[in-house]
Structure 1
Amino acid sequence: MDPNTAAAVAIQAWWRGQLVRRALLVAASSARRIQGWWRRVDSQRKEQQRLWVLAEYIRMERAIVLLQAQTRAWVMRTEYKRCQEAARTIQSCWRNYMQRQAGCCTEDVDLHIDIVLGVPGDCGAQSE
């Protein structure tokens, strides 16, 4: 091959190499941009999912705390009512006992009470 043809082939090879390298560089750059965009989209999606799960957890936690508070209040009300009933029973038994004790010692006391019913609308005014 003559030197001019060899030089032309070398220049063409160099130039085609440059074109291929530029095409590969553009393709790699485009791939990096697409990958970066996809990573951002995926990261945002994961962050939204994480926030949704967190909000759901907080909602569930609040519901559990409310249910526990209601249950504790119900248990305490039940216990309070039971204590009230026990106190009433004790008071009733004590009063009965005291009446029996008082009844045996003071047999001569007259406990007769007269109840006077007024006329409706009278209000204590005397008729003339």
Structure 2
Amino acid sequence: MEKTRMAKHGEQKDPSRKSAIAIQSWWRGVLTRRTVHQATLCVLVIQRWWRRVSFWQWEERRVRALAMYVRSVRATVLLQSLVRMWRARIQYKKYQRAVLVIQNKWRHYTCRREAVVFAESSLADGAVDLNIEIVVG
């Protein structure tokens, strides 16, 4: 039985075959390590690219969200400004109408007062007014 094992494993008898297997094994290891190293470098390049692309996408979404926020804030401020302007204009028109009423009443009062004074004066009878005002100064 041991002879059949020895026959199957001829490398135990021949040291050069054992050396050749060791060299082949070492070379396959070198090739495997190179392949793994190359694959690792490729993976790192892909990861770097993907992180950059995903960052750009994230940054684009962030800028878009910020723009939407700014747009809504500006719209809100504009709307508030328009409402304040509208309310101020209504208040101004109200004050303007009040001023016109007061001016009208005042002019009516002064006109009536002057009419009463004129009616009571001698000028109403056709007399000549000889009052002369002298201003020095």
Unpaired runs of 5+ in structure 2? 1-11, 125-137
Q: Could you state the TM-score of these two structures normalised by the residue count of structure 1?
A: 0.71
Work out the number of aligned pairs and report it: 110
Q: CA deviation at 1:107?
A: 4.1
Structure 1 counterpart of 2:40, from 6, 28, 46: 28
Letter in 1 for 2:29: G
Unaligned runs of 5+ in 1: 110-128
Return the alpha-carbon distance in structure 1 between the equivalents of residues 111 and 55 of structure 2: 83
Alignment of 1:1-128 (within 5 A): 1=12, 2-107=14-119
Structure with more helix by fraction: 2
Amino acid at match of 2:80: Q
Identity %, equivalent residues: 42
TM-score in terms of structure 2 length: 0.67
Match of 1:125 in 2: none
Root-mean-square deviation (CA, aligned residues, Å) is: 2.3
Letter aligned with residue 26 of structure 1: Q
